[in-house]
Amino acid sequence: MSIDPPTGLRPETLAVAFGYDPQSASGSVKAPIYMTSTFVYPSAQHAKDVHEAYFDGTGPQVGQSNHIYSRLGHPGLDILEARLAAIDGAEAGAAFCSGMAAHSSIALTYLRPGDSVIHGRPIYGGVDMLYNTIIPQYGSHAAAYLDGTDEADVRAAAETAMARGPLKLIIAETPANPTAAIVDLALMARIADEVGERQGHRPLVVVDNTLLGPFAQRPIELGVDLCLTSLTKYCGGHSDLLAGGITGRRELIDSLRMMRTTWGNHLDPYTSWLVLRSLESVHVRTERAMANARGVAEFLRDHPKVAGVTYLGFLPEGSRQREVYDRQCKAAGSTFSFHLHGGEAEAFRMLDRLRLMKLAVSLGGSETLICHSASTTHYAVPPEQRGAGGITDGTMRLSVGLEHIDDLIADLAQALDAV
């Protein structure tokens, strides 16, 4: 049940106003934007107390939101982080200047040379690059599981990883980009416990919850350690900002925030305000987008030129994926992939005929976006790994928006005629 114990309120209610007191800003109903890089100290002693509280976690100012410099924290960030945590049902939250800034911060905070990590495949291209190209240059190793609902497969990835070094992170993007492949979060937590017993320290389970967002899937309630969301997508919701959020236990978030101070990848005051505004309506927007997505997915499933649709709402009854979906997700989302008969040529012909749907990467905005995965979002992923993740040359990812469903289907129908 998603009720926040301290407030007794549900996430939809917390999304509207939690974390902001109008009395702190002349009664303004909406939080102001504090466009400042630095903050005045009322006295020299106060300045010392604030620094002691921030860096040592002791002193008279601990627990008060006194600010020093906007890279360390600012009022808009405080409100946003409190609200993200409240919506996710977590103790604390941290916001970053993009989803990848949040992912990179987790890697750099929790991995040291020699450590290892496991992740699923397919996975967001940037995350694939982070763990398989960038992080190995710093001496860490990654192993991938291909079916995040198959205990033997995940266990084998964990063994491969542990043979190379202590397993510190279990990364689960679910549903995964772009095919909506599902990862069993209870299984990840169980494997983390077992690995913890063997290693003497438990790896952290990190979930990328971007594709369903905070209302359709609640990873913290499912027992994961850190919940990461690219706020650029559904939470921002209008394709006009980049931001990333992480929620979880206070001590984990505190170490991420402390590192963020040095890396300088915090979220700025203006974008923090934009995200706060968007968070108020994310549950309403995603409900409509998901209803549209179902209609579009059903149209595509029945179309003779379409070889398949990987939409969560179509998971077969009795399958392992369906069992996990029923246990873990509240809705099927509005981003999914479909595969045309044929390859790149057929896909490009269709894409170039679309009039309404926009050909662009990204997802979760108010407008419908479509892209050809192999040549765009997953261009940098080697073809055999793409294939293993279910991405063919005819695969297209669709992020269904808020337009009228009949207009969306009409646009797809006329474009498919060109194939």
Give me the residues that bind ligand PLP (CB under 6 A), please: 98-100, 124, 126-127, 173, 177, 208, 210-211, 230, 232-233, 242, 244
Residue 8: CB atoms within 10 A of its CB come to: 8
CB of 365 to ligand PLP, least distance (A): 11
CB of 124 to ligand PLP, least distance (A): 4
Residue 347: CB atoms within 10 A of its CB come to: 24
Closest to 297 (Cα-Cα) out of 277, 318, 280, 314:
314
Q: Which residue is nearest to ligand PLP (CB)?
A: 99
CB of 273 to ligand PLP, least distance (A): 17
CB of 136 to ligand PLP, least distance (A): 19
For 3-11, which contacts have Cβ atoms below 8 Å and span 24 or more sequence positions? 4/86, 4/89, 7/86, 11/86, 11/87, 11/88, 11/89, 11/214, 11/215, 11/218, 11/283
Cβ distance to ligand PLP smaller for residue 96 or 299: 96
Q: Token pair of 198, please? A: 């063997």
Cβ distance to ligand PLP smaller for residue 66 or 93: 93
DSSP conformation class of 372: E
Cβ distance to ligand PLP smaller for residue 61 or 385: 385
Residue 344: CB atoms within 10 A of its CB come to: 14
Cβ distance to ligand PLP smaller for residue 120 or 126: 126
Q: Where are the beta strands (DSSP E) in 66-112?
A: 92-96
Cβ distance to ligand PLP smaller for residue 103 or 168: 103
CB of 377 to ligand PLP, least distance (A): 8
CB of 295 to ligand PLP, least distance (A): 23
Stated as kind and residue range, the H or E segment containing 143 is: strand 141-145
Closest to 86 (Cα-Cα) out of 276, 284, 274, 254:
276
Angle separating helix axes 250-263 and 99-110, nearest 10 degrees: 100
Cβ distance to ligand PLP smaller for residue 20 or 215: 215
Cβ distance to ligand PLP smaller for residue 234 or 338: 234
CB of 126 to ligand PLP, least distance (A): 5
